[in-house]
Amino acid sequence: MGSIARIEVTNGNPVAALQGFCARLLADGEISAVLAPRRLPVGGGTMPALVADPEQFRDVDPLAPSFRLNAARMLTRLTRGADEGGLVAALLRPCEVRAFIELCKLNQGSLENTLLVSLDCPGAFANADSARFPGNQGDTESLLGFLRAGGQGFFGGVKVARACRTCQHPTGAEADLSIGIFGQEPAKGLLLMANTPRGEGFMARLGLPEASDDGSRAKALQGLLEQRSAAQERLFAETTAATSDMTGLSTFLSACVNCYNCRTACPVCYCKECVFLTDVFEHKPWQYMSWARQRGALKMPTDTVFFHLTRLAHMSTACVGCGQCSNACPNDVPVMELFKTIAASTQKAFEYEAGRDPAEAPPLSVFREHEFTELTGGPD
């Protein structure tokens, strides 16, 4: 790790401190705008906003456990192509950072046009539960309690989303700058850590007081990961047992209505034209009748299982486990559980981790002569 500085918190309000931090970033001549979560005018929670006026930071809230949209794909729109709009500073959750890195590998965005800033992430509530947490309505004391607990436990009668309760990457070490919350007293101060040469340069110019990590952050992180690892193993076991054959998989996905919300919400599902939105799946009436006669009954709509299998084959190597697929599902289909389970297995097979390293090529874009020798029989 590189340099460490301290973001001072006054009046016990870490949100105000981060609003000031965003203003410092924007004041740097290299930054044209800051992409950060901004409170919604109604309903509570946040949505990403591109802020170019320092007065507008008064509504920015990077700490709110609200995650209505993975901003990675939004950031690709701001950074793709030539550097015409200037450098964008983006305050993102760790899973958003990893999704953006993965998209950059697929030539959808540019790391060169971005200053990535991530925060230790205790997790966020599902959209359906978000309004029940007072901290998402701007209540500072509720938010402080949530941050001190690392997102573990019940808050307002609800837990953070299951994707967050099983996340193994809550620190955003892949970003240029990381804001440390774990193991800190958020009413007094937060850590700011530089992870890249670009991060070091901005750290020096921000003029924040130097700090040191006394080990409390690492200790808090270790305890959090132990709980999340156990929760992840339970998720994998439950999902594997439920989807071990086609009958189980069909039952698992039976409530799917082909709305494609999961495809739209997925940050790494980037195709300009999805085959499922073409006429390939516009079946003729006689085909439906034929299938119904063959099987006795035909679930409508059709092709739901095929849709999810196609998505799994297409992007399980790029899945970062952010959970937005389940967050967007109107019928509570456990899409995240299925994709996270399959993605973990796929990425392990390729010795790859989505978003881990910008220089690491996606598995299906490279050829390794001695890969999967148990299937190919190895070299002659």
Predicted confidence at residue 134, as pLDDT, reads: 87
Predicted confidence at residue 152, as pLDDT, reads: 93
43 part of a folded domain:
yes
Same-domain status, 330 and 225: no
Q: Is the pLDDT of residue 375 over 80?
A: no
Same-domain status, 101 and 209: yes
Please tell me which residue, 271 or 290, carries the higher pLDDT value.
290
Predicted confidence at residue 91, as pLDDT, reads: 97
Give just the sign of the alpha carbon dihedral 348, 353, 359, 365.
positive
Give me the domain span that covers residue 276.
246-376
Distance CA 237, CA 323 (A): 18
Q: How confident is the model at residue 368 (pLDDT cuts 50, 70, 90)?
A: low
Q: Is 156 left (phi over 0), alpha (psi -120 to 50) or beta?
A: left
Same-domain status, 119 and 204: yes
147 part of a folded domain:
yes
Across 191-214, b (16+ Cβ under 10 Å) vs e yields bbbbbbebbeebbeebebeebeee
Predicted confidence at residue 297, as pLDDT, reads: 85
- Of all residues in the chain, the percent with pLDDT exceeding 70 is 94
Half-sphere exposure of 86 (CA within 13 A, CB side): 13
Query: Contacts by 108-112 with C-beta closer than 8 Å and gap 24+?
Result: 108/73, 108/76, 108/80, 108/270, 109/72, 109/75, 109/76, 109/79, 109/80, 110/79, 110/80, 110/81, 110/83, 111/79, 111/358, 112/79, 112/83
237 part of a folded domain:
no
Same-domain status, 63 and 197: yes
84 part of a folded domain:
yes
Task: Please provide the average confidence, as pLDDT, over all residues in the chain.
Answer: 90
Same-domain status, 197 and 340: no
234 part of a folded domain:
no
> Which residues fall within 8 angstroms of residue 256, CB to CB, at 6 or more apart?
304, 305, 307, 308, 331, 333
Q: Which of 229, 261, 295 is at the close of a domain?
A: 229
345 part of a folded domain:
yes
Same-domain status, 251 and 224: no
Question: Per the omega criterion (within 30 degrees of 0), is the bond before 330 cis?
Answer: no
Predicted confidence at residue 363, as pLDDT, reads: 84
Q: Which of 202, 229, 256 is at the close of a domain?
A: 229
Summarised one tens digit per residue, pLDDT across range 185-244 is: 999 999 999 999 999 999 999 999 999 888 999 999 999 999 999 999 999 999 999 999
Same-domain status, 202 and 275: no
Same-domain status, 339 and 261: yes
Same-domain status, 218 and 257: no
Task: Give the amino acid at 171.
Answer: T
Q: Is the pLDDT of residue 170 over 90?
A: yes
Q: Is the pLDDT of residue 328 over 70?
A: yes
122 part of a folded domain:
yes
Same-domain status, 210 and 278: no
Q: How confident is the model at residue 262 (pLDDT cuts 50, 70, 90)?
A: very high
Helices in 243-367 by DSSP H: which ranges?
246-252, 261-265, 285-295, 304-315, 324-327, 335-349
Task: Report the domain count for the chain.
Answer: 2
Summarised one tens digit per residue, pLDDT across range 56-113 is: 999 999 999 999 999 999 999 999 876 666 799 999 999 999 999 999 998 899 999 9
Question: Which DSSP helix (H) or strand (E) runs through 82?
Answer: none
The string of DSSP letters for 186-238 reads TTTEEEEEE-SHHHHHHHHHHTPPB----SHHHHHHHHHHHHHHHHHHHHHHH
Q: Is the pLDDT of residue 291 over 70?
A: yes
Same-domain status, 205 and 337: no
Same-domain status, 221 and 259: no
> Which residues fall within 8 angstroms of residue 10, CB to CB, at 6 or more apart?
16, 17
Residue 137 burial (10 A CB sphere; 0-12, 13-18, 19+): middle
236 part of a folded domain:
no
Summarised one tens digit per residue, pLDDT across range 10-28 is: 999 999 999 999 999 999 8
Which segment of 290-294, 322-326, 328-332, 337-341 scores lowest on mean pLDDT? Answer: 290-294
Summarised one tens digit per residue, pLDDT across range 309-327 is: 999 988 899 999 999 999 9
pTM of the model: 0.91
Q: What is the DSSP letter of 125?
A: B
Q: Is the pLDDT of residue 276 over 70?
A: yes
Q: Which of 176, 198, 229 is at the close of a domain?
A: 229
